[in-house]
Structure 1
Amino acid sequence: MCFLEDEFFSLLEAGSSGRPHEASPKESSSCEASPAYPKETVEKLRDIAAAMISAGYGTECCEVFSAARSKEVEAAVSSIGYEKGSIDDVVKMPWESLEGAIATWIKSFRHFVSVILPAEHDLCNQVFSVDPDISTTLFQTVAGGVLLHLLVLPEAVAMTKRSAEKLFKVLDIYDALRDATPTIDSLLPDQADDSSLADELTSVRSRLGDAAISIFCDLEGSVKSDAAKTPVPGGAVHPLTRYVMNYIKYACEYKNTLDLVFHDHHTPFSAQLMELMDLLDSNLEAKSKLYKDPALSNIFLMNNGRYIAQKIKGSSEINMLLGETWYRKRSSNLRQYHKNYQRETWAKVLACFKDEGLTAAKGGVQKPVVKERLKSFNSLFEEIHRTQSAWVVSDEQLQSELRVSVSAVVVPAYRSFLGRFAQCLTPGRQTEKYVKFGAEDLESYIDELFDGKVPAPVARRRT
């Protein structure tokens, strides 16, 4: 028996040298070549195992097999790059290092589940075909021990300090565990005790799900508490808007996983996403109040609203989660901001062209009033051009829509006013004094609005 035990150990040690786990043969009652051993070696291992078990040396045989194969399987996993460590080691890792470790772990874990685990299962069945119960126990010992080591990193990641950038790696690990569950359930079924490997896998996966939800909810808290008191220059898109929308766009690429994670906690991910969007809306509404000029406040809301709408429109996943009704409401809000801007900026300008007060009792024209109206218009327009040329609308389509809408109401009204009342002015110096712009000049200056640049002073009208 001692001789057979030594031979058994030698075959296990020598036969596996340099033979990587590449594929698993189909399970069969007869011996086949194994990814770890040639057919002849498997046959010898089976014969020795049968002899030792029948002679009452099953315990010694199993101990040798378990030790040799555990070492070999661990080496196979390590060869892919995974380094075994403790929970404390992982928790103390800088995030940049842990990111790389997670990527390596995922590669190693997927290979372990898809290739090594089935191959080891077949090897145990072939070598210990004389006793299926022994085969099952040994496989659970060898594979289960390595699996428990592999679960150290996911467990540690679930325990690390929460931060927004960790969400996607947490979900990557969660996905790997979820994908592996059917294979592990079939090869490592529940054991008699309460601490089965399947239960451990479920527990780690659940903790990762809790971590993912916590991270996402922390983002909601960050949006809610972001109370910067300095307005973004020119009413541009706020950095918070860019960050949140880009984060959501990336998160929604994990839509199926997040649906599953949030479903386990009885909250649809779509509802959680809508809550986050509502928090962002409220935050931006509060930030818009930082602007003293109501018109600039509406430009800010338009800029941010358009940026959000474009991100949603460009992502089928976000669109699907938020729904058409939500998107239509967003578009309606944008139109209202546009109307508010027009009213706040251009209502006073258009008031210069009203007929009230321009005609005398006998039907004549009140020339002083015409002059005052033109003077007021020139002053207002110059001030708007000076101020709003420095405002920022980076979305080219929105910028064009704003300029076109301004031209559409201001230029025709100005042209009509001049057509009716310009003759009241004495040609020459008086006309130059009060009629500072031609209609084409207005269009050119309006096309300079929202460039985010300090404008040159308004020049005299072209002749």
Structure 2
Amino acid sequence: MPVKIPNTLSILHSFKSSFSTISSPSSPSFPSSTSSSPKCPSTPHKSPSTPPHPHHTLSQSMMEENIAAAESVIAKHAADPTPFYGDHHEGREFLQAIKKLQDSMLFFVSKSNSNSNSDNNLVRAQTLMQTAMDRLGREFYHIMSVNRDNLDPESISGRSSIRWIGSDSDYSDTGSDEDSLATRESIQQNERLSSPAMLDIQSIAECMISSGYGKECLKIYKTLRKSIIDEGLYTLRFERSGPHQTHKLNWDIAEPKIKIWLNSSKIAVKTLFSGERILCDHVFAASGAIKETCFAEIVKDAAVDLFAFPESVATKCKKLPEKIFPILGLCDTLSELIPDIESIFSYESTSTVRSQAATAVAKLGDVIRTMIRDFESALQKDNCRLPVPGGGIHPLTHNVMNYVCALVDYSGTIVEVYSNQPLPVQSPLPELLIENSPTAENSLSSITVLFAWLILVLLCKLDGKAKLYKDVGLSYLFLANNLHYIVTKIRSSNLRYVLGNDWISKHDAKLHLYVASYENTTWGKAVASLQEDPTVVIERDAAMEVFQRFNHAFWAVYRAQTEWVVPDGSMREEMKVSVKKKILTAYRAFYWKYRVMVGHEKDTDIIVPDHLETYLSELFYSSSLSGPGCKGYSGV
């Protein structure tokens, strides 16, 4: 809420002790950052004075002389438009004149009810004070204007380790000696790190506020500093706009704005707003209420606009589950900034900023949960009935694994999003999920359950799609290809930490079963066509019959498999080695045992082992395919 700053006469009557602020030993002097507090000059300035009134006391005469001395100094500087910033002597002289004027006004206020002459002196002093404050206000504006580079939030936040300066009680000696010592050291470090300009404007601000001209001081300060905040956000390319304007943005326009926000928000909080809070607390350290109101009026609107943007975008993208990653980025960044936001905007008057940031995080969390739930629902409803040619990687496998592997990179954010929230999984959990938990005593973490469930749903959909193939061997090859792709993606991403080694090992074993089932189903007839007991010698006609039976079985399988694929290179080589070991070893032994016996007239019906090896080496490529599953595609 705004702080009401009374005029001089009101202050004098209700808060007489406020005039002592300018002479407090803890107050920095103006304009030098190293000089001591203002002291009375050794040779006071004299001005023509009227003969002393017969009823004048010694104190009253001294106060009238103070007014006259102050009038001389104030009149000189009021007439000279040249700023005296940098001239330590003149700046000190001017503040000393104001201090004398304050003392005189305080004295005459106490005598005003009994002495009409006191009222005249008070009016005269008030007129001088008005002139002095006009001059001091111009100096205040000048110092802040010419020192923009030294007073910009980046310089202040980067240079200063100042703790937030609270009320005077923050620095009281009520704590332990060690705490008091640490506090004093903190204040001293504050003063060492602060620029001369910061100390100078602090001195002027304290003088103007204690003289009853805080409103004028704050008007100058807020006008200049608010423009710096606006310029800072403009430099960061953040365009302040209302939520209605954000809702009207299409995605092509909203997406680059999200990237700008992600890049600018941390700088805005940690530099722009933080630096402004440090400067405001320093300049108006003498008054907790004033520095709170001043800071709030400078930054509150800009900060609310900055933290309202993620909420507006989240609302717009709620029904676009494919846009979850920009939303996760917004949630991740804003959640990371929450501690800084709570600290910088700790005042009651800036509670709307904290509330807006918290509301935005909550809204982003709601939208993320909705998007993941919609993604899982879309996966469950997938009813594509077109088999992938050659048993290659299904597009659904590509899409889901790319989505899940990207999703796991935001696991910390997702854990927070699902804290105290129901997971989008069936209940009770499938036994497969429990068995494969990497956590102790089957106590599944929310993040493990979520990702294990999404992959389980995918595996179930792939089982259904495998049944679309008429050839059982091709069904097993399809399952092997897709499971290998899934396991490989998990091994190469952060999913390996979420699902654990047990999950990977068990699915590796399942993959080997798929490969073995493929080999037995596909090549079993060719192997069975050879002689069952190689130690038994058979007749020529029987041997010839074995050759013909093997040729027929091999070519039937081989021709079918010329269109079958194994996209992953390492898996392809492993499977070819396994098939060669199963077929070529047995055939080569039979061939060299009976080749001479059957003669040469049937050469065209007999496959030479070297040729057989070449044929097997050409398996699992398909030049007719494009996209996933084509020759040379790694599948990872």
TM score, norm. by length of structure 2: 0.63
- 2:577 pairs with 1:404: yes
1:345-365 C-alpha deviation (Å, 9 max, x unpaired):
122222222549xx9xxx985
**1:422 Cα shift?**
5.5
- 2:377 pairs with 1:245: no
Distance change in 2, residues 1:226/1:12 (3 Å): farther
User: 334, 348, 352: which is aligned to 1:177?
Assistant: 334
Secondary structure in structure 2 of the residue aligned to 1:274 = helix
- 2:373 pairs with 1:217: yes
**1:136 Cα shift?**
1.7
**1:248 Cα shift?**
2.3
1:280-337 C-alpha deviation (Å, 9 max, x unpaired):
101111111111111111111111111111111222x211101112111211111111
Aligned position for 2:497? 320
Amino acid at match of 1:187: I
**1:196 Cα shift?**
3.8
- 2: distance between equivalents of 1:394 and 1:228? 21
Amino acid at match of 1:443: E
Amino acid at match of 1:400: E
CA contact (8 A) 1:288 1:298 kept: yes
Distance change in 2, residues 1:5/1:411 (3 Å): same
- 2:488 pairs with 1:310: yes
**1:12 Cα shift?**
7.8
Amino acid at match of 2:229: V
Secondary structure in structure 1 of the residue aligned to 2:418 = helix
**1:275 Cα shift?**
0.7
Larger mean CA deviation between 1-10 and 207-216 belongs to: 1-10
CA contact (8 A) 2:392 2:478 kept: yes
Distance change in 2, residues 1:150/1:121 (3 Å): same
- 2: distance between equivalents of 1:202 and 1:144? 15
Amino acid at match of 1:72: I
Distance change in 2, residues 1:107/1:364 (3 Å): closer
Secondary structure in structure 1 of the residue aligned to 2:387 = coil
Distance change in 2, residues 1:183/1:453 (3 Å): closer
User: 461, 472, 478: which is aligned to 1:294?
Assistant: 472
| Residues 1-20 of structure 1 mapped to structure 2, 5 A cutoff | 1=130, 3=134, 7=138, 10-11=141-142, 14-15=145-146, 20=152
- 2:443 pairs with 1:276: no
- 2:348 pairs with 1:191: yes
Distance change in 2, residues 1:183/1:4 (3 Å): farther
Aligned position for 1:432? 603
1:359-383 C-alpha deviation (Å, 9 max, x unpaired):
9xxx98593x654443332122112
Amino acid at match of 2:600: G
Amino acid at match of 1:184: I
CA contact (8 A) 1:70 1:145 kept: no
1:228-261 C-alpha deviation (Å, 9 max, x unpaired):
1111111111122122222222222223232332
- 2: distance between equivalents of 1:85 and 1:231? 49
- 2: distance between equivalents of 1:77 and 1:240? 43
Amino acid at match of 2:509: S
Secondary structure in structure 2 of the residue aligned to 1:22 = helix
Distance change in 2, residues 1:132/1:364 (3 Å): closer
Gapped runs of 5+ residues in structure 2? 1-129, 163-186, 424-445, 625-636
Aligned position for 2:522? 345
Secondary structure in structure 2 of the residue aligned to 1:180 = helix
Aligned position for 2:154? 22
Aligned position for 2:274? 118
Secondary structure in structure 2 of the residue aligned to 1:404 = helix
Distance change in 2, residues 1:79/1:9 (3 Å): farther
1:183-204 C-alpha deviation (Å, 9 max, x unpaired):
22122226289x5432321121
**1:150 Cα shift?**
0.5
Amino acid at match of 2:145: A
CA contact (8 A) 2:276 2:295 kept: yes
- 2: distance between equivalents of 1:355 and 1:55? 113
Distance change in 2, residues 1:161/1:31 (3 Å): closer
Distance change in 2, residues 1:420/1:216 (3 Å): same
Aligned position for 2:34? none
**1:101 Cα shift?**
1.3
Amino acid at match of 1:348: K
- 2: distance between equivalents of 1:300 and 1:48? 80
- 2: distance between equivalents of 1:390 and 1:157? 47
Secondary structure in structure 2 of the residue aligned to 1:291 = coil
**1:156 Cα shift?**
1.0
Amino acid at match of 1:23: S
Secondary structure in structure 2 of the residue aligned to 1:151 = helix
- 2: distance between equivalents of 1:78 and 1:166? 27
- How many residues were matched structurally? 440
- 2: distance between equivalents of 1:156 and 1:281? 36
1:155-174 C-alpha deviation (Å, 9 max, x unpaired):
11211224344222222222
Aligned position for 2:324? 167
CA contact (8 A) 2:477 2:514 kept: yes
- 2: distance between equivalents of 1:339 and 1:404? 13
Distance change in 2, residues 1:5/1:262 (3 Å): farther
Aligned position for 1:99? 255
- 2:511 pairs with 1:334: yes
CA contact (8 A) 2:141 2:220 kept: no
Distance change in 2, residues 1:9/1:68 (3 Å): farther
CA contact (8 A) 2:237 2:260 kept: yes
Aligned position for 1:457? none
**1:57 Cα shift?**
4.5
User: 232, 250, 256: which is aligned to 2:388?
Assistant: 232
CA contact (8 A) 2:387 2:465 kept: yes
| Residues 364-383 of structure 1 mapped to structure 2, 5 A cutoff | 365=539, 367=541, 370-383=543-556
* Two-structure CA RMSD over aligned residues (Å): 3.1
TM score, norm. by length of structure 1: 0.84
Amino acid at match of 1:409: K
CA contact (8 A) 2:408 2:495 kept: yes
Gapped runs of 5+ residues in structure 1? 455-463
CA contact (8 A) 1:4 1:52 kept: no
CA contact (8 A) 2:466 2:476 kept: yes
Distance change in 2, residues 1:26/1:375 (3 Å): closer
1:26-50 C-alpha deviation (Å, 9 max, x unpaired):
4458996999xx734x455445543
